[in-house]
Chain A
Amino acid sequence: MEWIQQLVNGISLGSIYALIALGYTMVYGIIKLINFAHGDVFMLGAFIGFFAIARWEMNVFLALILAMALCAIIGVIIERVAYKRLRNATRIAALITAIGVSLLIEYTVIFFRGASPAAYPTVFETSNFEILGVKISTQSILILSVSIFLMVLLQFIVHKTKIGKAMRAVSHDADAAKLMGINVDNTISATFAIGSALAGAAGVIFGIYYTRIDPLMGVLPGIKAFIAAVLGGIGIIPGAMVGGLVLGVVETIVSALGYSLWRDAAAFVILILILIIRPSGIFGKNAREKV
């Protein structure tokens, strides 16, 4: 029974990774950029949620929505200011810029509020309930249901709405999309907005679950979410979801086996293995670079 409990914990953690990984994978899909500032948008989301709940005494769900909205705007600003002008530059230039943006966000936050961690306010009485002898916390359920809801919503947006179809068209062939009358710049902005909103949501959920947030909290989850995206096949949306969940479960199992100090290493071992065995990821086709 303890194993099922661990599995539930792993899925909760994994769904946070999955939410962040979605932003990585969507942005990569559309402009072939690994947006290393994405983990910092996650951090900003956590802080926005923190201020909303602790200072402005907002309801958790309103705080979640506020964090998502502001992160969406931040994501669009990052793209317009930093990445847009590099669209025809080499990939390595864009990548270095992304790392620069990441450091800029981290140290701007530290500049204004210091590097000390903050404790997230308790928003729910943590109660556990038992199903068939498995103890499950209400928080795990909350995290899981919010994540699942957001992922379903994303699938709906990507497959059923006009902007979602435009996003898929641009990521497949930007010039052909232009010939359909699709505004490529706006579509890229929308992608950043949606990806960043999901990261913002992940930030708030992370804060509620782990209660401790700080300005550098985005670094490790950001890298792990990137690993999750690569694991699932970068650029593939369902891949990011599955990759996140797998990574979360593996980490929890490693901890449960008594190797909790090796937890972070597990993610990197997975990255190395996937790069050796199947670089295109679980869902990736063995696609060659288009010439």
Chain B
Amino acid sequence: MLKVNDIDVYYGNIQALKGISLEVNEGEIVTLIGANGAGKSTLLKTISGLLKPKRGSIEYLGSAIDGKAAQSIVKAGISHVPEGRRVFANMTVEENLELGAYLRNDRDGIKKDMAHVYELFPRLLERRKQLSGTLSGGEQQMVAMGRALMAKPKLIIMDEPSMGLAPLMVKNIFNIIEMVNKEGTTVLLVEQNANMALSVAHRAYVLETGKIVLSGTAKELQESDEVRAAYLGGL
């Protein structure tokens, strides 16, 4: 479904990604783990068109999307839940969700999907008229995820959805990630919480200073000594 081929990405003169390749197949949850500054967010931003690779290509459903404008990538069916949630704080929950469906014109479909988002996140229904800046971190994460789902994506990419959340909320969020996946949306998940991420993912990649250093099924990585030492808190 998504094929990243040997891309290099720079911030000015600083190279953030060095020859990254990865693949996401339809129906999978693929996770990308790695420490701060490894280049995880950079990779996601490149996929969703906020950054452009200097070299290499990104293929999605058989056509190249690297260097395309962000809005045409959203239109093609990739939604990005950004790091730090980035909800529109000065707008209500419902307005945030409506913006998620910005490129759609099928009123009935939008209505139906909004009802579905409220079903996934009942808390948001209670707070639909509230300014999203006044919500708790976990609730804002729900808004960010709901907003991304409103675009009716085929592939949803999520950047650290568990960041800064209480353990119970983290569990809740990961349950919903699995649910969304079961409903047919492919997921590419970036996480620092490697434990959680590997427990829901089918396959995983490990990113270190701009390079993929390990990859395999989630189970393989959970059992790998290197991963356990570096990311899962010792042997």
Contacts and interface: CB of A to CB of B under 8 A. Distances in A.
B75 A181 contact: yes
A180 B91 contact: no
A264 interface: no
A162 B87 CA distance: 17
Interface string A155-190: 000000010011011001101111111110000000
Nearest to A173: B86
Contact of B70 (A168, A172, A179): A179
Given A165-B91, A175-B50, A182 B86 contact: no
Contacts of B48: 179
A187 to B, nearest CB: 10
Main secondary structure of the interface of A (DSSP, over half): helix
Contact of B86 (A168, A175, A181): A175
Contacts of A181: 70-71, 74-75, 102-103, 151
Contacts of A172: 88-91
Contact of A178 (B49, B79, B88, B98): B49
B80 interface: yes
B203 interface: no
B99 A169 contact: yes
B100 interface: yes
B103 to A, nearest CB: 4
B40 interface: no
Interface footprint category on B = 20 to 34
Contact of A176 (B75, B82, B95, B103): B82
B88 A182 contact: no
Contacts of A175: 50, 82, 86
B71 A183 contact: yes
B52 interface: no
Nearest to A185: B69
A166 B89 CA distance: 14
B4 to A, nearest CB: 18
Contacts of B75: 181
A271 to B, nearest CB: 26
Contacts of B86: 173, 175-176, 179
A175 B50 CA distance: 7
Contacts of B100: 180
B75 to A, nearest CB: 6
A44 B103 CA distance: 36
B80 A179 contact: yes
B74 A168 contact: no
Contacts of A179: 48, 50, 70, 74, 79-80, 82, 86, 148
Interface in A50-64: none
Contacts of B95: 165
A179 B74 CA distance: 7
Contacts of B50: 175, 178-179
Contacts of B102: 162, 165-166, 180-182
Contacts of A162: 102
Interface string B72-85: 00110001101000
A142 B102 CA distance: 38
Contacts of B70: 178-179, 181
Nearest to B89: A172
Contacts of A166: 99, 102
A183 to B, nearest CB: 5
A183 B89 CA distance: 20
17 contacts: A162-B102, A168-B88, A168-B90, A176-B87, A177-B99, A179-B48, A179-B74, A179-B82, A179-B86, A179-B148, A180-B100, A180-B151, A181-B70, A181-B71, A181-B103, A182-B71, A183-B71
Interface of A: 162, 165-166, 168-169, 172-173, 175-183
Nearest 10 Cβ contacts at the A-B interface: A181-B74, A176-B86, A178-B70, A181-B103, A181-B71, A179-B80, A180-B102, A180-B99, A181-B102, A172-B88
